[in-house]
């Protein structure tokens, strides 16, 4: 059985009470454990935006992990937007 190994590039926007200083390092560790390329493009106490690249299943796992997150943050919602690469 062949697994789907297609890589996606997505922007994930996390909204909620994200004041905890532990959340950004937690996001970085979780993404690294999943083997996702990631860049945090915006971070505030109410919103975090990150660019992710990797297999869809692992990005799904990242979303679930962030929604459950550390106990000291409250995630209200997570939005995902596919990033389109430029065609030559």
| pLDDT for 28 | 96
H or E element at residue 80: strand 74-82
| pLDDT for 19 | 87
- Domains of the chain by start residue, with CATH: 7-82 (3.30.70.100)
| pLDDT for 85 | 53
Each residue's pLDDT tens digit, 2-47: 455 578 999 999 999 998 888 999 999 999 999 999 999 999 999 9
User: The pTM is what?
Assistant: 0.85
What is d(CA 69, CA 30) in angstroms, rounded to the nearest whole number?
Answer: 10
DSSP string of 9-64? Answer: EEEEEEEEE---TTHHHHHHHHHHHHT-EEEEEEE-SSEEEEEEEEEHHHHHHHHH
Each residue's pLDDT tens digit, 37-86: 999 999 999 999 999 999 999 999 999 999 998 889 999 999 999 986 53
């Amino acid at each position: 059985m062949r697994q789907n190994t297609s890589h996606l590039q997505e922007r994930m926007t996390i909204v909620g009470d994200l004041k905890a200083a532990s959340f950004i390092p937690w996001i970085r560790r979780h993404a690294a454990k999943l083997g996702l390329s990631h860049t945090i493009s915006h971070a505030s106490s109410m919103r975090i935006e990150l660019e992710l690249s990797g297999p869809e299943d692992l990005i799904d796992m990242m979303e679930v992990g962030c929604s459950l997150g550390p106990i000291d943050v409250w995630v209200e919602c997570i939005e995902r937007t596919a990033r389109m690469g430029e065609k030559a």
